[in-house]
Amino acid sequence: MSRQIADYHVEEVPCILIRPSKGWRLINLRELRAYRELLYFLAWRDIKVRYKQTVLGAAWAIIQPFFTMVVFSLFFGRLAKVPSDGIPYPIFSYSALVPWTFFANGLTQSSASLVAGAALVKKVYFPRLVLPISAVLSGVVDFALAFVVLVGMMFFYGIIPTVAAVWLPFFLLLALVTSLGVGLWLTAMNAQFRDVRYAVPFLVQLWLFATPIAYPSSLLSEPWRTLYGINPMTGVVEGFRWALLGTQTAPGPMIYVSALVSLGLLVSGAFYFRRLEKTFADVI
């Protein structure tokens, strides 16, 4: 008894106030931190389960970008003779497809995460942000696998990365932030209207061609090139090429624009998500 009382005083007694919320709410980072273990377990579950009962297993993480690269090299590189900033076309496109695949999968998975986790949302409380975040994070493993192949290809083509390679984590983070930002918008909408499920594959496809993956952004002249950074994936893809392959497209103003847009998407997405959060359990 006395020990309990001691605990009672030492450990701060959490007090939860439950009341109807009004309007826009802030993101509760402290609470999110408290639920980091759940975040970890959900991401871990996604990774574990993703390639269960498949023949090729984790090879799918590589097949996806690799064969896209093959197709691109054939049609854009060989037949259409699309310029590739003086780099062999296969590695030019693959180095862009690796972060792109991470982004596209993250976006797809996070936008579906809430509906897929409906059973959880209806029966257990946790900050709902955990679901889309863990969905995006679980893609990091696939990214790593595809990245290993990228390194192998660089060996094959005899490309030595420059010191700029230290910036890679930053560009990965940028891809993650973009993916999550858009994912938050879409997943919150998906809870209300399942149209999102049909819109996402379409959106991803359009976005693929709006991003300089099959072609270089150097096709555009300067004011337009910076403006192109409004598509945050432009910054990510060109940043990757610059950091790994040493292309001349050093991240100038374009990257700043991309980073800003990406951050804007994340913050607005998080607010929008928080605003709709209270309705999730009732409408899913």
Partner 1 sequence: MSGIVIRVENLSKRYRIGSLRPSYKTLRESLTEAAQAPLRRAAKLLRGEAYGAAGLEETIWALKDVSFRVDQGEVVGIIGRNGAGKTTLLKILSRITEPTEGCAEIHGRMGALLEVGTGFHPELTGRENIYLNGAILGMRKVEIESKFDEIVAFSGVEQFIDTPIKHYSSGMAVRLAFSVAAHLEPEILLVDEVLAVGDAAFQRKCMGKMQDVAREGRTVLFVSHNMGAIQSMCQRAIWLNGGKVMSDGVSRQVVQQYMGSASGDSVLYAPQPSRGYTDLIIEKMVLKNSQGQITKTVSSGEELHIEIYYHALKRLPKPYFWIAIRSRFGSLCGANMLFDGACPECIEGRGMIACTFSALRLLPQIYTIRLGIRHQNGINNYIENAEISFAVTGAAQDLGMEGEMAHNFFDDFYCLLVPYAWHLPDGKIVPVNGFHVCQESASPTSDLGMQNGDQ
- Segment near partner 1 (CB under 8 A); pick from 119-127, 134-142, 167-175, 241-249: 119-127
Q: Are 186 and 200 in contact (CB under 8 A)?
A: yes
The residues near 210 (Cβ < 8 Å, ≥ 6 apart) are 231
Give the residue with the Cβ less far from partner 1, 41 or 224: 41
Q: Are 103 and 236 in contact (CB under 8 A)?
A: yes
The CA angle 83-86-91, to the nearest 5 degrees, is: 85
The reply to whether 26 sits near partner 1 by the rule CB under 8 A is no
Tell me the number of residues near partner 1 by CB under 8 A. 43
The reply to whether 281 sits near partner 1 by the rule CB under 8 A is yes
The distance of closest approach from Cβ of residue 241 to partner 1 in the complex, given in angstroms and rounded to an integer, is: 35
The reply to whether 120 sits near partner 1 by the rule CB under 8 A is yes
Q: Can you read off the two tokens belonging to residue 274?
A: 């928080």
The distance of closest approach from Cβ of residue 55 to partner 1 in the complex, given in angstroms and rounded to an integer, is: 15
CB atoms within 10 A of CB 140: 16
The reply to whether 160 sits near partner 1 by the rule CB under 8 A is no
Q: Are 213 and 100 in contact (CB under 8 A)?
A: yes
Binding mask 203-242 for partner 1 (x = CB under 8 A): ----------------------------------------
Beta strands in 29-91 (DSSP E): none
- Segment near partner 1 (CB under 8 A); pick from 20-28, 67-75, 143-151, 259-267: 20-28
The distance of closest approach from Cβ of residue 189 to partner 1 in the complex, given in angstroms and rounded to an integer, is: 6
Q: Can you read off the two tokens belonging to residue 135?
A: 């969905």
The reply to whether 202 sits near partner 1 by the rule CB under 8 A is no
The reply to whether 54 sits near partner 1 by the rule CB under 8 A is no
Of the candidate residues 123, 158, 198, 223, the single one contacting partner 1 (CB under 8 A): 123
Report how far residue 43's alpha carbon sits from residue 143's, in angstroms, rounded to the nearest whole number: 14
Report how far residue 178's alpha carbon sits from residue 231's, in angstroms, rounded to the nearest whole number: 10
Instruction: Tell which positions 34-53 bind partner 1, by CB under 8 A.
Output: 37-38, 40-42, 45, 48-49, 52-53
The distance of closest approach from Cβ of residue 52 to partner 1 in the complex, given in angstroms and rounded to an integer, is: 4
Long-range contacts of 254-260 (CB under 8 A, 24+ apart): 254/217, 254/225, 254/226, 254/228, 254/229, 255/229, 256/229, 257/226, 257/227, 257/229, 257/230, 258/174, 258/229, 258/230, 258/231, 258/232, 258/233, 258/234, 259/174, 259/232, 259/235
The distance of closest approach from Cβ of residue 259 to partner 1 in the complex, given in angstroms and rounded to an integer, is: 25
The reply to whether 55 sits near partner 1 by the rule CB under 8 A is no
The distance of closest approach from Cβ of residue 133 to partner 1 in the complex, given in angstroms and rounded to an integer, is: 15
Binding stretches for partner 1 (CB under 8 A) = 1, 4-5, 8, 13-21, 24, 37-38, 40-42, 45, 48-49, 52-53, 119-126, 189, 192-193, 272, 275-276, 278-279, 281-283
